[in-house]
């Protein structure tokens, strides 16, 4: 009569315990439900719903079953086996057919969320953000291309070439003793424990070779001048600002850029070129929000479009390598957008010389009007080896727990890094205070993450299947530039609640507890505490 019957699918003992403490009774599901065959939770008929294409959930790393030593919960579940569950929590949206649900059933998923929880979906959706919001996605989402779409593949190639030209100018100026405007680094090497400066590459064993011709810098200047003109729409009626470069010219230009970036080749830079380069980069910094974070090694990260937990992700710094790794995705039989390539954030905020990312939870309780809750607690995941742009292996660049588990312990790891490779955001705040940036978390990092979350949701709002009575908890992954500005990497549906460390064990339990406060307790008492959840947006 009180409609306090629930069903849980997946390893969520905390959800079960919290609901039972509220007087709810579980309608347990057969073990076969884990294999995909679920009884319908709105009717008595069996339901089998395959995972829709483009949907991605962050799968649990461990399967656990609730302990019921005295059998009392099994007995109570048996008594309600023919009753409708009014609260349903699953780790896969595809196991529920929302069309069969009653209006008074609450479910922890929405339909069609692949519009922002897959890498290709987020890539596409955020391009539409200017239609919905004044926010610029280039200020919080590294530029991204679907390599399966031929027009985007060509756009990526052009972007790679332009980035190579900018990178060459930055390296030339830095080696001449200049720091280009717009690319300043707040934390310099050796200035405190938060070393974040990325050193220039060491020459190869064969040596840097003879100096490259002055024409190389001149070509880079002309390319950047032409690009700046196109950004200002000066190329619409007039002649091109630099000679047209053929594919052969670009191949030669990129080979020389690789020599400078990866082999330490010497650049000849005249005084006039130095002044032109400084002015150009200063003007470009006003047009390109990502100029500072993109660094000067032209590293890109290649990702399968709909996988999670870091699977299949590769970093590369050569155009032919990126296109070769993703070669299968441009075959006629491949699904368009199967792979995405994204600019790697090279100028990262590091902790003890090591890369980290932040898992930030947020909760959507309605899509119309869009209602977003931001969790005040989050956690950091560290890589197991020191950051280096000369070595692009996963141990240094992918913070996913499942990836780092495969890497094993590293020699030379900083002794102050946590053995379990996780910190809470409170530990990060204490660290930032130690390095003289006590206000960065609340003044820059959190506000930036909120803008990115709301922007991603608004850009996908018209594509998601809204349903009154549903809600969903998501996990967004961020890295931070050396200026502490956040960069959104991806958003996960069904973020893992498996405790991989002491920190995640505590925080995963608290976010589940507070989620139930918002979606259950607040229905009956709108003024009840919502724990660490903060309402940040409601249309």
Which positions ≥6 away from 358 have C-beta within 8 Å? 378, 379, 380, 381, 425, 428, 449, 477, 478, 479, 480, 486
pLDDT of residue 403: 75
pLDDT of residue 55: 54
Q: What fold, for 115-140+348-538? A: D-amino Acid Aminotransferase; Chain A, domain 1 (3.30.470)
Is residue 305 very low, low, confident or very high in pLDDT (cuts 50, 70, 90)?
A: low
Task: Parse the chain into domains and list their residue ranges.
Answer: 1-31+66-107, 115-140+348-538, 143-182+215-231+245-344
pLDDT of residue 338: 78
pLDDT of residue 194: 45
pLDDT of residue 355: 96
Nearest 5 degrees, angle CA 138-CA 141-CA 146?
100
Is the pLDDT at 447 greater than 80? The verdict is yes
pLDDT of residue 243: 53
- Give the range with max mean pLDDT: 44-48, 225-229, 242-246: 225-229
Is the pLDDT at 50 greater than 90? The verdict is no
Q: Which residues pair with 372 in a beta bridge?
A: 364, 537
Higher pLDDT, 333 or 50: 50
Nearest 5 degrees, angle CA 514-CA 520-CA 522?
80
pLDDT of residue 205: 43
Q: How many CB atoms lie within 10 A of CB 67?
A: 9
Q: Give the lowest-confidence range in 32-41, 289-298, 380-389, 482-491.
A: 32-41
HSE at residue 106, side-chain half, CA atoms within 13 A, is: 18
State the Cα–Cα distance between residues 449 and 488, nearest whole angstrom. 8
pLDDT digits (tens, 9 = 90+) for 349-390: 999 999 999 999 999 999 999 999 999 999 999 998 999 999
Is residue 57 very low, low, confident or very high in pLDDT (cuts 50, 70, 90)?
A: low
Is the pLDDT at 140 greater than 90? The verdict is yes
Higher pLDDT, 481 or 68: 481
Is residue 59 very low, low, confident or very high in pLDDT (cuts 50, 70, 90)?
A: low
Q: Give the lowest-confidence range in 18-32, 251-265, 520-534.
A: 18-32
Which positions ≥6 away from 442 have C-beta within 8 Å? none
CA torsion angle for 155, 158, 159, 165 (degrees, to 10)? 180
Is the pLDDT at 36 greater than 50? The verdict is no
Higher pLDDT, 410 or 152: 152
- Segment 169-190 shows an average pLDDT of 69
pLDDT of residue 190: 37
Share of the chain above pLDDT 70, in %: 81
pLDDT of residue 500: 85
Q: Give the lowest-confidence range in 123-127, 241-245, 301-305.
A: 241-245
- Segment 415-424 shows an average pLDDT of 92
Is residue 94 very low, low, confident or very high in pLDDT (cuts 50, 70, 90)?
A: confident
Q: How far is CA 119 from the centre of its chain?
A: 8
Is the pLDDT at 240 greater than 50? The verdict is no
- Segment 261-282 shows an average pLDDT of 91
DSSP summary character for residue 38: E
């Amino acid at each position: 009569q009180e409609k306090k019957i629930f069903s849980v699918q997946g390893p969520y003992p905390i959800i079960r315990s919290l609901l039972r403490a509220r007087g709810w009774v579980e309608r347990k599901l057969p073990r076969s439900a884990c294999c995909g065959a679920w009884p319908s939770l709105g009717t008595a008929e069996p339901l089998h719903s395959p995972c829709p294409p483009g949907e991605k959930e962050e799968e649990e790393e461990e399967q656990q079953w609730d302990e019921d030593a005295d059998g009392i919960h099994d007995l109570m579940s048996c008594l309600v086996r023919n009753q409708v569950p009014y609260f349903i929590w699953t780790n896969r949206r595809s196991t529920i057919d929302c069309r069969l649900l009653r209006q008074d059933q609450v479910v922890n998923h929405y339909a069609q969320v692949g519009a922002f929880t897959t890498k290709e979906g987020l890539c596409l959706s955020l391009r539409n953000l200017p239609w919905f919001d004044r926010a610029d996605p280039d200020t919080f989402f590294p530029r991204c291309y679907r390599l399966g779409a031929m027009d985007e593949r060509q756009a990526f190639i052009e972007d790679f070439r332009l980035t190579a030209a900018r990178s060459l100018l930055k390296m030339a100026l830095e080696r001449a003793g200049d720091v280009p405007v717009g690319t300043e680094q707040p934390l310099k090497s050796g200035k405190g424990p938060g070393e974040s400066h990325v050193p220039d590459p060491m020459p190869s064993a064969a040596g840097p070779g003879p100096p490259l011709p002055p024409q190389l810098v001149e070509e880079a200047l002309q390319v950047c001048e032409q690009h700046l003109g196109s950004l200002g729409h000066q190329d619409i009626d007039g002649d091109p600002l630099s000679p047209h470069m053929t594919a052969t010219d670009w191949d030669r230009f990129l080979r020389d850029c690789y020599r400078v970036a990866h082999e330490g080749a010497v650049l000849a830079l005249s005084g006039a070129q130095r002044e032109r380069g400084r002015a150009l980069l200063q003007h470009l910094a006003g047009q390109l929000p990502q100029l500072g974070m993109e660094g000067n090694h032209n590293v890109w990260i290649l990702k399968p479009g709909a996988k999670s937990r870091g699977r299949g992700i590769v970093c590369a710094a050569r155009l032919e390598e990126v296109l070769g790794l993703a070669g299968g995705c441009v075959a006629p039989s491949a699904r368009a957008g199967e792979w995405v390539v994204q600019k790697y954030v090279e100028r990262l905020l590091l902790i003890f010389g090591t890369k980290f990312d932040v898992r930030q939870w947020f909760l959507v309780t309605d899509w119309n009007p869009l209602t977003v809750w931001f969790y005040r607690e989050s956690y950091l995941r560290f890589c197991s080896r020191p950051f280096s742009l000369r070595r692009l292996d996963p141990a240094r660049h992918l913070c996913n727990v499942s990836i780092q588990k495969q890497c094993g312990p590293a020699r030379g790891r900083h002794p102050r890094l946590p053995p379990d490779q996780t910190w809470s955001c409170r530990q990060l705040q204490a660290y930032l205070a130690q390095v003289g940036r006590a206000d960065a978390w609340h003044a820059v990092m959190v506000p930036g993450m909120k803008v990115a979350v709301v922007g991603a949701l608004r850009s996908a709002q018209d594509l998601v299947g809204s349903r009154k009575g549903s809600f969903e908890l998501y996990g967004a992954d961020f890295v931070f530039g050396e200026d502490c500005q956040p960069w959104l990497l991806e958003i996960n549906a069904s973020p893992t609640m498996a405790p991989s460390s002491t920190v995640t064990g505590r925080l995963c339990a608290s976010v589940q507890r507070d989620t139930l406060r918002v979606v259950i307790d607040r229905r009956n008492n709108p003024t009840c505490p919502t724990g660490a959840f903060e309402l940040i947006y409601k249309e």
